[in-house]
Amino acid sequence: MTKVFNEPTFRDGVNLMVDRAIAVMGLDEGVAKAIKSCNAVLQVQFPVKIRDKIEVFTGWRATHSTHRLPSKGGIRYAPYADQNEVEALAALMTYKCAIVDVPFGGSKGALLIDPSQYSRDELELITRRFTLELIRKGFLSPSTNVPAPDIGTGQREMAWMADTYKHLHPDDINYVACVTGKPIHHGGIQGRVEATGRGVQYAIQEFFRHADDVKEANLSGSLEGKTCVIQGFGNVGYHAAKFLSEEDGVKITAIIEYNGALINDDGIDIEQLRQHIDEHGGVETFTCAHFVEDGHAVLEKECDILIPAALESQITMENASQINAKLIVEAANGPITFGADEILAKKGVIIIPDAYANAGGVTVSYFEWIRNISHIRFGRMQRRHDEMRGAEMTRVIEEATGRHVSDQIRHSISRGADELDLVRSGLDDTMRLAYQEIRATRENNDNIKDLRTAVYVTAIEKISRSYLEVGVY
Ligand code: NAD
């Protein structure tokens, strides 16, 4: 990880950004304090016998807020995790849920582990043991605290967690809703794996629908042909790169990974790169782009859009002034430090902040949770009905006009929406509305200069309303 010199910790950085928002909205000091404080943090240490030796693992789960339940947030497996980071990420989840109107509190968890050092069976053992700790201490259940995937975890880990919960609570009819991001055949939802990257795409599309915002970033026109550098080619970075390049004509000119970066000013073929990594395990030997070892320096490459999608604290006071992007979209959580944020603002770089930009994941997790507690797949009741109405409509058109409707039009009119269509539509709508709300907040308050402050003001207004309506007890 990049060393951060003389800068606040991640958690303090988030709080400083929140303080900036609280100052412009003149919020009551007590309410502000209640919103900012982290409700509970659990640290667990547990032994697991690995290769005939006992190893002790450390994990955390922080619940930042419980004004809405369950509290929601990912669990990461990383060799650098710590409590400060978990608390910062849990706080971000509170603001993120409020921004996209997901009725959940904020939470986050981490296990201090390098997953690459363990076999699949060992990881299953460790995950099940960690899950047991979280359940026993009241930090995992469908109604109070619901984890999801994050760095180093995915569908597999979520399936192990759900199964562990089921064995401990066989009488809980909603057991499958205790985690989200599960495999489809274990209660997952179509479109969850791609959701955060898809949400990043929808956020950028919405930004480009507002000509004034595009102009403020010293850009013009549509997304077509814009150059883009992406840091991190994991779940979020890969999907964002794929959708932006394949569907919006964005040119991905660099992909930065932990051990170096690939550069191709004509645009990197994302699927070709994905296949190469699957076959060869890394980016170094990919021949359709130029490989450079100092990947971190590539963050400074000139581009229209920079998407950090790897880790926190990647753009710091050390490199912020060298950044050559017009628009930065925070797909990762906390990739820009508080100090760097101020430097970039002075440079006129526009930042679409994490609490909004990467909210696609929690939005679709919310859809998955609803699907789980309602015990029915979206679209199951109405799909065929919609198809019948569509077929009837084409028949009426043909009768009224005396002309034959082509098979292509007939198909598009009569096709009923399946679950993936509905998830994408719900996510697109959520990302559009949230951006419009953030924009309106900024327009209505002359003291709000940047999108990040507008995001926090919008979120805090909603959270404080909920605190004041319910009362503090
Ligand atoms: P991931 O583990 O799938 O991918 C992370 C990628 O970053 C990996 O390819 C890894 O090799 C790369 N990486 C690690 N260190 C790096 C470095 N120093 N420089 C460049 N690349 C590096 O994780 P993810 O789920 O894609 O999460 C990425 C970010 O997005 C995190 O900040 C996470 O909190 C955030 N996020 C994820 C989700 C989600 O649904 N997965 C939702 C919201 C936010």
Exactly one of 96, 108, 226, 251 is catalytic; which is it?
108
The rounded percent of the chain whose pLDDT value lies above 90 is: 95
- What's the structural domain count of the chain? 1
The answer to whether position 192 is within a domain reads no
The answer to whether position 343 is within a domain reads no
Q: Which residues line ligand 1 (CB under 6 A)?
A: 149-152, 196, 231-237, 256-258, 295, 309-311, 331-333, 358, 361
What is the reported pTM? 0.95
What does the CA dihedral 191, 193, 196, 200 come to, rounded to 10 degrees?
-70
The answer to whether residues 85 and 110 touch, using CB atoms and an 8 Å cutoff, is yes
- pLDDT tens across 118-147, in order? 999 999 999 999 999 999 999 999 999 999
The answer to whether position 172 is within a domain reads yes
The answer to whether residues 186 and 176 touch, using CB atoms and an 8 Å cutoff, is yes
Instruction: Give the pLDDT mean for 187-194.
Output: 97
Res. 472 pLDDT band, cuts 50 70 90: low
Checking if the pLDDT of 4 tops 70, the result is no
Q: Please state, rounded to an integer, the average pLDDT across all residues of the chain.
A: 96
The answer to whether position 101 is within a domain reads yes
DSSP-derived secondary structure for 260-317: EEEE-TT---HHHHHHHHHHHSSSTT-TTSEEES-TGGGGGS-EEEEEE-S-SS-B-T
The answer to whether residues 301 and 278 touch, using CB atoms and an 8 Å cutoff, is no
The answer to whether position 160 is within a domain reads yes
108 is catalytic: yes
- pLDDT tens across 240-258, in order? 999 999 999 999 999 999 9
Q: 292-321 b/e with 16+ CB inside 10 Å = b?
A: eeebeebbbbebbbbbbbbbbbbbbbbbbe
Checking if the pLDDT of 271 tops 70, the result is yes
The answer to whether residues 55 and 48 touch, using CB atoms and an 8 Å cutoff, is yes
Report how far ligand 1's centroid is from the alpha carbon of 153 (Å).
Answer: 10
- Ligand 1 pocket test: pick from 238, 243, 258, 423 the residue with the most ligand atoms within 8 Å of its Cβ: 258
The answer to whether position 128 is within a domain reads yes
User: If we measure between CA atoms, which residue out of 72, 160, 146 comes closest to residue 115?
Assistant: 160
The answer to whether position 242 is within a domain reads no
Report the pLDDT value the prediction gives residue 392, as an integer from 0 to 100.
94
Q: Which domain holds residue 136?
A: 38-186
Ligand 1 atom nearest 331 alpha carbon: 30
The tokens 């930004």 sit on which residue? 207
The answer to whether position 436 is within a domain reads no
Query: SS3 for 341?
Result: helix
CATH number, position 157? 3.40.50.10860
- pLDDT tens across 362-388, in order? 999 999 999 999 999 999 999 999 999
Among the listed ranges 26-35, 82-91, 180-189, which one has the minimum average pLDDT value?
Answer: 26-35
